[in-house]
Structure 1
């Protein structure tokens, strides 16, 4: 007989033990628990569990919702009842477009998997096709995974595919070179090339080239913004017709986004130690110890890869979703809370408002806000349908 409360306490202890480097976060490779459980606790799909974000409490809530009440013994009857509850919840989630609501997400298999858009092994993407009326070209949502530029995979985006394809929007997830393969700007250029590849093959997948949106979580959000705000990278003189395609997009959807990767900007605008992040050091090839010796060329690269640098009045509408409060003190808890803090989004919104570029930032301050965040894909689909002028 196993007490639910005891099981949760043991899981909390294991989470702390797995955090061997004491950075307050766990990646999938660090957590010794099952993959499915990690995915249930990783609500925004950024590939990281932040211990200060109450992952253990999420586990408790999940167990309570499943019928596993704290303090009660779990026998065979209770386990069967719990499984029936889980199956019922999963079936309920499959009935509506908000298939990602709550802790369970039904993965949808891609219609075209591991399509190659470049020469590197990471230059692959998955295509999830929406059903379209009369074979009319449909808009497309491109999703870029997070993971600090050092980890992550396009398959993580499969959890978010269903709300888009169920509403007539094709959905694409992609991989890019990680910082251990090549430092910046390699991954930024990879993602831009993926957009050009999709446009080059738009007719094959019935994609409307004029209605393409882009988004991502954490690192993926930065890559998405960089594409959205940078000048069009189309080269009319390119020998390869793919590179003649536009990189411009119609809308941007972001989760827990950074808007600058310039450690000087971050140190000025974000409280705490976020500016010292080792992910940024690896991405650009510098160390904190040698930060005063960074040459001008590298500084220029860092600035050029920072999305907020490129924002202009002709850029697409953007919506930010953050799972944290906008309270600046949150950023001081640890570097992970800082690097995903809503202050990044609000700083970009200031500039967007000046340029009259539509931009909304949603944070979690109340229980109502949390409910909205948990149902963010309903809002995101509505946002796209509005800007794609879909009926």
Structure 2
């Protein structure tokens, strides 16, 4: 009897780990978030909004569907929108990262923004990355950093000033943009594929309604009571199962490592920019410039629609011109 009591006591204290869930790895694209679906849901509260279509500018050269990396499974694609006129020293560049909860969305949603920014004098790139239906965290981080390295490897071809590269992201893409900007030089976030001899550093960050922390009290990520949350799918663990991973994957955790100025463009949905104010406190302590503009009364997907699209582009261009003029 004593033996069984000791055995039961010992079993209670045997350390165990919860296996990472792969149920979200369907291998099929998730098309639940698109500009059209966002329009249908957003127009219920904002009936006067308009989808921003693509626009051809005579001053802009377009190259679509280029391969920037193959991480061992398939080719990853990127689109390029560059000013046609050659410029000595090259143009500043912007890598645009789409949203969709790390599971859905598409790079083509931000082609209008890339076209307008290219017309304003920025070589602009819309990038695809592996979503959580295909690969779990940190694959998307590795992909975005690979795209930045590819941009530098092809700087002469696309007339880029490789000392002036910004990253811009919306929603999940905003989180990725902030995370990439805070993890420069940390090898475990770089990935081992494609143009590894080039830097993935960025000199400016634009976060459009992307969370800064998955574990912040303001965060809405990780509520799995009704259905699996987007972040839980991406990490393969719920917040309760692996809080350390959720914390380590948060830009706020690595904020002390940041070197680039940041523009935050936000909707009126506070939970979409959780941790922003604490993030800015770290920037202030480091003497790094940041600014915030909130579109009062706007929905989360504001940057995809008028009347918010043009002001969004204007804010981005103004911020980047100001930042890069000092370099």
Report the equivalent of 2:7. Answer: none
Contact 1:233 1:247 in 2 (8 A): no
2:218 is equivalent to residue 269 of structure 1: yes
Superposed, 1:239-388 pairs within 5 Å as 242-261=195-214, 265-266=215-216, 268-270=217-219, 273-276=220-223, 278-287=229-238, 291=240, 294=241, 298-312=242-256, 315-324=259-268, 326=270, 338=271, 340=272, 342-365=273-296, 375-388=311-324
Question: 1 or 2 for the larger relative contact order (CA 8 Å, sep ≥6)?
Answer: 2
Q: Quick one: structure 1 residues 209 and 363, their matched pair in 2 at CA, closer, same or farther if it must change by over 3 Å?
A: same
Deviation at 1:174, TM superposition (A): 0.5
Contact 1:145 1:154 in 2 (8 A): yes
Contact 1:145 1:219 in 2 (8 A): yes
Q: Quick one: structure 1 residues 347 and 50, their matched pair in 2 at CA, closer, same or farther if it must change by over 3 Å?
A: farther
Deviation at 1:317, TM superposition (A): 0.6
Deviation at 1:150, TM superposition (A): 0.7
Report the equivalent of 2:162. Answer: 209
Contact 1:124 1:175 in 2 (8 A): yes
Q: Within 2, Cα distance between the matches of 1:248 and 1:132?
A: 26
- 3-state SS of 2:234 partner: helix
Contact 1:126 1:173 in 2 (8 A): yes
Q: Within 1, Cα distance between the matches of 2:152 and 2:61?
A: 18
Report the equivalent of 1:200. Answer: 153
Report the equivalent of 1:173. Answer: 126
Deviation at 1:29, TM superposition (A): 4.7
Q: Within 2, Cα distance between the matches of 1:325 and 1:269?
A: 11
Aligned residues: 281
Superposed, 1:91-170 pairs within 5 Å as 103-108=51-56, 111-119=62-70, 120-121=73-74, 123-134=76-87, 136-170=89-123
Give the number of the structure whose residues are more often helix, by fraction.
Answer: 1
Report the equivalent of 1:58. Answer: 46
Contact 1:128 1:165 in 2 (8 A): yes
Deviation at 1:50, TM superposition (A): 8.6
Normalising by structure 1, report the TM-score.
0.63
- 3-state SS of 1:319 partner: strand
Deviation at 1:116, TM superposition (A): 1.2
- 3-state SS of 1:361 partner: strand
Normalising by structure 2, report the TM-score.
0.75
Please, which runs of 5 or more residues in structure 1 have no aligned partner?
1-27, 40-46, 63-101, 327-337
Contact 2:32 2:104 in 1 (8 A): no
Choose which of 141, 165, 175 in structure 2 pairs with 1:188: 141
Deviation at 1:374, TM superposition (A): 5.4
Q: Quick one: structure 1 residues 134 and 230, their matched pair in 2 at CA, closer, same or farther if it must change by over 3 Å?
A: closer
Superposed, 1:10-25 pairs within 5 Å as none
Q: Within 1, Cα distance between the matches of 2:192 and 2:126?
A: 27
- 3-state SS of 2:195 partner: helix
Contact 1:122 1:175 in 2 (8 A): no
Deviation at 1:244, TM superposition (A): 1.6
- 3-state SS of 2:102 partner: coil
